Amino acid sequence: MKLKVMMLVAAGALLSVGAASAQDVEALKKSKGCTNCHDVEAKKMGPSYKELSAKYANDKDAVPNAIKKLKDGQGHMKVAATDDELKAMVESSLNKK
């Protein structure tokens, strides 16, 4: 019984960490200026995350290519972020994990 309770507590902790991470990524996008040009549904200065996700749905190299563009400022303004931050933001934006 004690083991089952511990497993349930651990599972709940993992779920709450996942939810917090999604919120953290959205806060990160806002802090890095992504939301100034991009929205989830609507086109702003740049395409919506929904459009980007559809465009790159079948591209297995979309995440590393986007990270390189954001890091180097190629075809997109340069984003001052760590590789891990860029990966989290890109995967979230393209719905790839």
- Rounded-to-integer distance, Cα 30 and Cα 26, Å: 6
Q: Tens digits of per-residue pLDDT, 1-43? A: 554 444 444 444 444 344 448 889 999 999 999 999 999 999 9
Tell me what pLDDT residue 32 has.
Answer: 95
Domain positions in the chain: 2-94
The pLDDT tens digits for 37-90 are 999 999 999 999 999 999 999 999 999 999 999 999 999 999 999 999 999 999
Fold of 2-94: Cytochrome Bc1 Complex; Chain D, domain 2 (1.10.760)
Quote the pTM value. 0.75
* DSSP line for 5-74: HHHHHHHHHHHHHHHHHHHHHHHHHHHTTHHHHB-SSSBSSS--HHHHHHHTTT-TTHHHHHHHHHHHTS
